Amino acid sequence: MTETDAALLVSAGIGGGLINALAGGATLITFPAMLAVGLPTVAANASSAVAITPGHLLAAVADREKLPAFDKRLLEALAICILGGSAGALTLLAIPEQLFTLPIPALIAFATVLFALSPRIAKWAARDNEGERVSTGLARATLVMGSVYGGFFGAGLGVILTAVLAILDPTDIRSVKVLKNLLATAVSLSAVTIFIVQNAVAWGPAGLMFIGALIGGYTGGHLVRVLPASIVRHFVVFSGCAMTAIYAMKYWI
């Protein structure tokens, strides 16, 4: 590995950590960086996931004031994320390598639209007594799908989780972002455990990117505390649209 490769991996880790803390979508930077230094597709995905996983937790801890209560609701969400992330990782390792990127543009587009409409969806859901059950059921179902997807590839996982959580609480973007980072940690940890057990990780590149991701994740967690909610929301929508367009051009055109 050259010094240029090492610098690319560290820089991609910093950028990915920042993006994950603010909106999600670090894989858009970290996965191509792994490919650029010569890793095969599955190894690049697994190594990227290992490198950026701790950044989710650091970003949540950086805004400790908004950490959620450790209650039944949080435990249920964490369990869903752990099981879903494991299922996604096992699916990735089981299918032919060339197939694992095909559904990515559609999934990211869905998450972006869901997030953009989440305040309206929440208002609609609250109109009657059935609204809370409907919105909670929608959030749980989407969390299952998002967790499986996150273990499968991960690009846009933050957008998906933010969309789900914003349906339930569209008013406090900081709380949404902290909980998003906790759940993303659960998804990623379950997936990378499987990648490690299956020897799918290139540890040299992963270690370099890991250093950068720690810096970027912690810095991004502090930025969430000071940025206006509207800026963060617009950034999430912009990131989702950009990821959809890039991956659609790459895999569908």
Q: Mind listing the pLDDT tens digit of every residue in the chain (253 residues)? A: 899 999 999 999 998 888 777 766 678 789 889 988 999 888 999 999 999 888 777 777 777 777 888 889 899 999 999 999 999 999 999 998 778 778 878 878 887 887 787 777 656 655 544 444 445 777 788 889 989 989 998 877 877 787 778 766 666 777 887 888 899 899 999 999 999 999 999 999 999 999 998 888 778 777 767 776 677 778 778 888 988 898 899 889 8
- pLDDT for res 190: 97
CA-closest candidate to residue 161, choices 123, 212, 108: 108
- The token pair at 144 is 């299952």
| Cβ contacts of 195 within 8 Å, gap of 6 or more | 46, 49, 50, 89, 93, 201
- pLDDT for res 121: 62
- pLDDT for res 79: 96
Note down the domain range covering 167: 3-251
Say how many domains are in the chain: 1
CA-closest candidate to residue 19, choices 229, 251, 223: 223
- pLDDT for res 253: 83
* Contact yes or no for 121/167 (Cβ under 8 A): yes
| Residue type present at position 100 | F
- pLDDT for res 37: 95
- The token pair at 161 is 């989780």
* Contact yes or no for 56/185 (Cβ under 8 A): yes
- pLDDT for res 134: 46
- pLDDT for res 133: 47
| pTM for the full predicted model | 0.77
